[in-house]
Each structure stands twice: as C-alpha cells, then as structure tokens.
Amino acid sequence: MSFELKNLSEVDIEKIKRYIEEERKFVEKIISGKIKKEKKELVRTVLFIVESPNKARTIANFFGRPSIRTFGGIQAYEVSIGNRHLIITATKGHLIDLTTDNIGLYGVVVAENGIYPYYNSIKRCLECGYQFTEYQGPERKCPICGSTVVDDAWERIEALQKLAQEVDEIIIGTDPDSEGEFIAYAVYLLLQPYTKKTYRAEFHEVTKYSILHALDNLREIDVNRVKAQMVRRIEDRWLGFSLSEKVQKIFKKNWLSAGRVQTPVLGWIVQRFLEYKNSLSYFIGIKARKINLVLDLDIKDKTKLNEIIRVLQNAKVVIKNKKYFEEELNPLPPYMTSTMLQDASNYLGLGVDMIMQLAQDLFEAGLITYHRTDSVRVSPAGIQVAREYISEKFGEDYFKPRVWGEGGAHECIRPTKPINSETLRNMIESGEMEVFVDISPQHFALYGLIFRRFMQSQMTPVVVKKLKYTIEIPEIEYSKEEVGISDVIKHGWDLIDDYRIRSQKIEDIDSMELSIEKVTYWKAAKVRLYSQSDIINLMREKKIGRPSTYATIVSKILRRGYAIESGKKLVPTKLGVYVYYFLNKKYGKFVSEERTRLLEEKMDMIEEGKVDYMQVLYGLKEETDEILRQIDKEEELQQIINEVNNIFGFGSGKRGEFRKYKKS
C-alpha cells in the first residue's frame, strides 16, 4: 500500500465528507433496488512473464501462497488478484540471439529493401558453460566440448506457447531498459499466434505496490527502444566479429576478441600503464611531531635526492596563516550504476561482475530498485521510505527530502523498505521476512552500502569547523596549503555514516615551528594505475557504454588476458598492449572514443524516434565491409610489435606472450 502524509491544512475535509455521503446514498439506492448493481468484469486469466525465476516467485508470493506447475523447464506460479488470475513465469533471460550459421553477414541478411537479422534459440552447455545458437552436427552437440547435455531455450519457448493457449491476455514484465524491451518484443513475436492481447508492464522495484501499479498502467511495447537494441546487437556482431577475426588470424589465437567499446577501454588501461612506468620518482617522508608529510618534488636523480635529504636533516617545518572557518557539507546523491560499482569495488573489495550479480539478486528479492540506471532521481515512494526511517531513527528534524534528478521513468538505486542491513539480516534469519534468493554476507554488505548512501541523500547537511594553514620548509623553498575538518558543529547525514568527515580530519597544530625528527625516502609511481571502478567511471564520463554493459566490458578484457588485476589495479599484459596497438594502428577510426560516443548518441536518437534505424544499419554495414576489405600482413604486425617494445621497454619474446607485471 502507498500513501502520502499531508498537513491537516492541506486537506479539504468538507470535500471528503461530501464524497462519503454521496457514496452512502448510492449504496442505499442499490440495497433498496432503485439502482441495479452493475455486473463486474469477469475474471481474466493472464500470463505474466518476467525474466528471472526468483523474481517470478517473489511476485507470486505477494498475493498469498501460489499453486505451482512445472513443465518445459519452467515453473509457473498461479495466484488470483481481484479481476485477474495470474500465471507468473520467467524466460530465464534472453530466449533468442543472432544465428552463427553462415547466413548473410554474420547472421544478418542485407538487401536493397531492408536488413533482416536471423535468430535462433539460445543454448547453454551444462558441461562447459558455453553459450551458442547452433548445435554441432546432427547429434546436437556443444561446439566447444562436444557435450550433448545442453539447456536449449526452445524448450522454454514451447512451454510459454502452451501456457499462452490457456490465457485471455499476456503481460510481459521484463527489466525496464532497452535490453528488457527487446526480450519483451521477442516474447511478443513468439507468442503472438496464441493471443492477440499482449501488453508491457514496467516496474523499477519488485514490491507489491509497484507490481499492482504496473498492472493497472499497462502500455504497448516501445518499438523504438527495440530498434535501438537491435541495432546495438547487430553492431556488436558486425564490428565485433569482423575485428575479432582480424585479431585471431594475425595473432594466431582463436580466443581473442575486439569490439567498439572494448578497444578504447583497453587503450585507457594500456596508456595509463605507460604513464605509470614513466612517472617513477623519489618521494620523501618527513615526521615532525604530529605532522607527517610526503614530499613529491619530482626527483628522479639519486644524487639530487641525497642533497635534499642532507638539507632536510637540519631544516624546520613552519606552520603559517592558520585560519578557522565554518562550512556546510551536503550529502552525496544516491547511487546510480557507475557510482555503486565504484564504491562497492573500493570499500567492499568486490569485482564488478560479482557486484552486479549481488545487485541483481537484491532487485529480484524486492529489496532495492532496478540497478542498471544512469539516474539519481528519487520518486515520491522513495522519499516516503526515507522519511519513515529517518524520522523514527533520528527525528523529523534530520529529514530533508531531495528529488536529485529530473522527472522520468528511471530512478536511483535505493532500498524499497525503511530497513537497514542489520535489521534486514535479523528479519531474514528469524523467518520474519521471506526472500527467494540465497542471501550471503556480501549481499548484506552491498545492501548496507546502498541503504546508507540513500538515507544520507535525504538528510540535513552537516555543519563543520574547518582549519586551513600553510606548511613551509624554507630551506628547500617548499610550501603547501593544508585544509581539513577539525570539528563537527551540527550533525546531519553523518549520523548514518561519518566516513567522509573522518577522512578529512586534520591535525590542529599549536606550534608555529617544528623540528624534523625523521626523514625517509622511497621510489614509486606518481601516476596510479586504474582500478575496475576507475574504468567504469571513465566509461560513464566519456559516454561510451551503458549501465548494463559497464561490468561486462571490464570482465571481458580480463577474461581475454588483455589485462590482469594486481592489488585491485589493472595492469595490461604484453598481449593486451600488442592487440591494442594493432587495432589502433590499423582500425583506429572504427574503434576511437569519438566514433563510439557518436554511435551511442545515435542509439539514443533511435530510441527517441529521431533517426531511422535502417539508415544507421546501412552505415554500419559499410564500415564492416571496409574492415573486411583490409589485408593484414605479418611484416606490418612485426613493425607494430617492434614499436611497442621500444615504447614500453619490452624485451624480445614471442609475439603475444602473456606477461604479468608486479607492482613497483
């Protein structure tokens, strides 16, 4: 149930009384026979299709204990809600994908009157996990390991078609993004012969209210979003397959890959590593009572280092221009996909693939809103969740509602209930709350991160006392201004979590001149390597990639052996450097940041109905033809390898050798 709290002065009491009186008179007339009671609409049987079995089970249990049927590899949950009898089931993700049969250009036929993609059911080998669309041979084997133990989505398609024959209408409630829209369209096409009444339900959180609201506000499938997703998939296939074939052939490794987004992202990792290598310098550490300084003087020469150390041993640290001032610190906005991935990676030490899977589970369990979003907007329902928790925990005075973003369907990532992670854990473990996902400590950790960030975003600012002073070492002409928080004057969002305050704490130094007690030095890089979260933030800032693909791109680079993760930092392998330079040198105009960003903008315009998707596809076909026409020569690659070896200082070795780098 959803409600909104209002001041009594905002409510028209007389109007409410008149409405109640009119309703009372209307009922009296029905009872006396003066008005015949209207016949209610007959109960309709509805096939309600979502993506995840966990989500299907969660939704079904909102409406009592469902009856369950199992056939064709799927479970169907049956419940009644008012004038609808729901049969709730799941597709288990995508059902179809572009064929890899030798049809047209990588499964897409290009004709003068249009472009026609050919699809087949998705298969997944239960032995090796490989996903494919075409069996190997008449024995219907996995093309990788030869196993015949395969999960074929066609079995689910047939099961859905049988269910569709039992119902009056179909409602498709797949995820609220362009990928979910495409899955909905595929389901619509596969089930269209069995019922003419097919609708789309869109919801951004798995709660009883949001499901009922979606069922009462059905819409047609957004064909423009489907077209945009279709173009994305064909572009992935054409550009990905053509470039991957080039890389596989020239490097003689059939497991390599390339892509429009993957290549510039790999380039960031490679270029950052080069900057890292070239930024090695000496750093000097100084201890003077409470002051601990790290001097970055850009020293690369050992002789110069020794000279400065000799001077520092008899030098003084001088504190000048000490000044206090007050400042109001506002909370950060709630999470969207990229910021959630950044913080979960930094604070929880989890990989991006794991984070997205945990978030998916939390969403399907009805605990958070949809986790693939670029929006920080907070809905009225979200504000009400925050009001309830903050008012009860800290008092109404600490609640300050903020919408954060403009209107639209998408919302920030937030909890769906006013329950913190500790209470949630206790409720689940005691059986007070039932969830249909296996919840681990990592789930609770991620939920807690999302919960705290959201609640802080709806709280009052923190007023702090700040201290600013200048640190000087006259003997080496060093000067640096230090600014930090010395005290909290008025609490606000920090009552949820004060890490941002603690991390800015500064030592209040009384003395104006301090003797240096200890001098140390070490060699390190001034430029730090990128982490997974850094890369995801860059993808968002540079607008290449989408929330649904951020984690996939990073994990693909790691799986291909183009980079490794060392101490949470991404380090390119020799193979990764060679592949990037080859692609950039030979096919740079197709995989540049600018070209990739422009294509993403075109996708957005297709979604908005501003660009003809067929024109975009014909343009992509021309690009693919141009790539395929180019011939790669061994001597060209050797020249690129020699150039890379000189730039990076690689020794001689086999082409494409996988090499690990240790931290300096």
The DSSP output letter for 42 is P
Work out the pLDDT band at 410, boundaries 50, 70, 90: confident
The DSSP output letter for 547 is T
- Beta 96-98 vs 84-90: how paired, if at all? unpaired
pLDDT digits 0-9 by tens, 466-505: 999 999 999 999 999 999 999 999 999 999 999 999 999 9
pLDDT digits 0-9 by tens, 260-279: 999 999 999 999 999 999 99
Question: Alpha-carbon distance 562 to 541, whole Å?
Answer: 23
Tokens of 21: 């009186």
Most confident segment among 19-28, 155-164, 649-658? 155-164
Q: What pLDDT score was predicted for residue 509?
A: 81
User: Which residues make Cβ contacts (< 8 Å) with residue 236, sequence separation at least 6?
Assistant: 259, 260
> Within 13 Å, how many C-alpha atoms sit on residue 358's CB side?
24
Residues 78/64, Cβ–Cβ less than 8 Å? no
Query: Is the pLDDT assigned to residue 45 strictly greater than 60?
Result: yes
CA-wise closest residue to 527 among 223, 268, 266, 177? 268
Question: Alpha-carbon distance 148 to 578, whole Å?
Answer: 37
Average pLDDT estimate for 306-319: 92
Question: Alpha-carbon distance 212 to 197, whole Å?
Answer: 19
Q: Which residue has the tokens 């008179």?
A: 25
Residues β-bridged to residue 398: none
Helix H segments across 165-301?
178-191, 208-216, 223-251, 262-278
Residues 511/525, Cβ–Cβ less than 8 Å? no
> Within 13 Å, how many C-alpha atoms sit on residue 70's CB side?
3
Tokens of 204: 């951004």
Interhelix angle 421-430/441-457, nearest 10 degrees: 140
Q: Which residue has the tokens 């169907």?
A: 76
pLDDT digits 0-9 by tens, 565-610: 998 899 999 999 999 999 999 999 999 999 999 999 999 999 999 9
Question: Alpha-carbon distance 296 to 280, whole Å?
Answer: 11
Residues β-bridged to residue 136: 141
Q: What pLDDT score was predicted for residue 467?
A: 95
pLDDT digits 0-9 by tens, 427-472: 999 999 999 899 999 999 999 999 999 999 999 999 999 999 999 9
Residues β-bridged to residue 524: 281
Question: Alpha-carbon distance 232 to 221, whole Å?
Answer: 18
Q: What pLDDT score was predicted for residue 658?
A: 38
Check residue 532 and give left, alpha or beta (phi > 0: left; psi -120 to 50: alpha): alpha
E strands, 300-377, are 316-329
Other residues' Cβ atoms within 10 Å of the Cβ of residue 474 = 11
Across the chain, mean pLDDT equals: 91
Residues β-bridged to residue 488: 464
Q: What pLDDT score was predicted for residue 196?
A: 83
Question: Alpha-carbon distance 623 to 626, whole Å?
Answer: 5
Residues 188/49, Cβ–Cβ less than 8 Å? no
Question: Alpha-carbon distance 571 to 375, whole Å?
Answer: 31
Catalytic residues: 370
Domains, the chain: 40-221 (3.40.50.140), 238-277+528-648 (1.10.460.10), 280-330+462-525 (2.70.20.10), 337-457 (1.10.290.10)
Other residues' Cβ atoms within 10 Å of the Cβ of residue 225 = 22
Q: What pLDDT score was predicted for residue 655?
A: 43
Q: What pLDDT score was predicted for residue 38?
A: 54
User: Which residues make Cβ contacts (< 8 Å) with residue 74, sequence separation at least 6?
Assistant: 53, 89, 90, 92, 156, 159, 160
Question: Alpha-carbon distance 255 to 118, whole Å?
Answer: 24
Residues 317/516, Cβ–Cβ less than 8 Å? yes
3 state DSSP class of 463: strand
Q: Is the model more confident about 24 or about 171?
A: 171
Residues above pLDDT 90, as percent of the chain: 83
Residues 116/122, Cβ–Cβ less than 8 Å? no
User: Which residues make Cβ contacts (< 8 Å) with residue 380, sequence separation at least 6?
Assistant: 4
Residues above pLDDT 70, as percent of the chain: 94
Helix H segments across 349-415?
352-364, 380-393
Average pLDDT estimate for 526-534: 94
pLDDT digits 0-9 by tens, 52-71: 999 999 999 999 999 999 97
Question: Alpha-carbon distance 122 to 130, whole Å?
Answer: 11
The DSSP output letter for 219 is B
Question: Alpha-carbon distance 415 to 418, whole Å?
Answer: 7
Query: Is the pLDDT assigned to residue 662 strictly greater than 60?
Result: no
Residues 363/370, Cβ–Cβ less than 8 Å? yes
23 φ/ψ angles, rounded to the nearest 5 degrees: -65, -40
Q: What pLDDT score was predicted for residue 5?
A: 56
Query: Is the pLDDT assigned to residue 145 strictly greater than 80?
Result: yes
